[in-house]
Amino acid sequence: MSGEGVVNDEDRARAIVQSLGEPVIVLDRERRLVAASPSAAVALGDPLPGRRVAEEVGGALVLFVGELPELSAYEELRAGFTAAVSHELRTPLARLLVLLESASLPGADVGVLLEQAHQEVEQARELIDDVLFLGELETGREIVSLGRTRALPVVREVAAAYAERAAHSEVSIEVEGGEVVELPLRPRMLRVVVENLIANAIRYAGPGAACRIAVSSFDGSPMLTVADDGAGVGAEDLPRLFERFYRADTARSSRGTGLGLAIVKHIVTSAGGTVEASGAPGRGLTISCRFAA
């Protein structure tokens, strides 16, 4: 690779890692530091470019530039995705460690702490499951569209399964629509879409909100719409809701994996459909999935 190519790679690497919240370092073929994310710079102590660095620095993700082929856009995305997954997994694991250490203290309510620890394990498990499932979708190992499925029976089944969870969060669920409307999704894929959309409403709409799931046909095109009248999101957040791990400011403390809507979008678009989000603060959120006739 020419010297100019290395410089370009290094400039691009610096720009990428500076935007990451996770500890990521970039080395050249001599293991000299090219760039470090802010958290990795703290772990390094001396983040001066050119210094030699071991491949293991506080669990940081290590990338190389130099003799390796030029990074493709996909590889850059994968690196960022890996760093994001690492961050999302560290959060429940760190809380789990604190809970287990607290359980050994005198006077600790072990039962309560163990229940909280169990919830953290479930959080990590859900994240891993979602990451693996999204990976299967993106590599084509999961067939999304195979025939058509009558939507309303599946929607009712999922809504019934989430009824207790919704009641606990003080969110009501309503289902309506045409009995004969079919969507171009396998039953399992339709179930995954509805589960993630209902879970999203329960998690973010807020107490007292109503969630309405509707199956309809508009100009011959079948649609699935999930709308709530809860907290809503700002206009600046709407275009990013379907990004992996993105959470609006009001949802930062959520226990969700941050992948639910990304999974919904991938399934819908893989079936030739489109998905859109609309809403405003205090006026709820509506997610509409439209498919070809």
Domain ranges of the chain: 3-64, 73-138, 149-290
Question: How far is 52 from 60, CA to CA, in rounded Å?
Answer: 15
Pairs from 40-43 (Cβ < 8 Å, separation ≥ 24): none
CATH 3.30.565.10 fits 149-290, yes or no: yes
Average pLDDT, rounded, for the chain = 76
The fraction of the chain above a pLDDT of 90, given in percent, is 26
Q: Say which range, 50-59, 146-155, 265-274, has the weakest mean pLDDT.
A: 50-59
Check pLDDT > 70 for residue 148.
yes
Q: Which amino acid is at 221?
A: S
| 73-138 against 149-290: fold identical | no
Instruction: Count CB neighbours of 144 within 10 A.
Output: 22
Residue 88 is predicted with a pLDDT of 58
Sheet holding 274-279, edge to edge: 172-177, 210-218, 221-228, 285-290, 274-279
More confident residue, 222 or 83: 222
Q: In which band, very low, low, confident or very high, does the pLDDT at 290 lie, cut at 50, 70 and 90?
A: very high
Residue 224 is predicted with a pLDDT of 96
Question: How far is 12 from 118, CA to CA, in rounded Å?
Answer: 41
CA 13 to chain centre: 24
Q: Quickly name the fold that domain 73-138 has.
A: Helix Hairpins (1.10.287)
Q: 159, 170, 177: which is closest to 210 by C-alpha?
A: 170
Check pLDDT > 70 for residue 262.
yes
Average pLDDT over residues 34-61: 70
Residue 253 is predicted with a pLDDT of 45
CB 226 within 8 A of CB 176: no
Sheet holding 33-36, edge to edge: 33-36, 24-27, 61-64
More confident residue, 120 or 6: 120
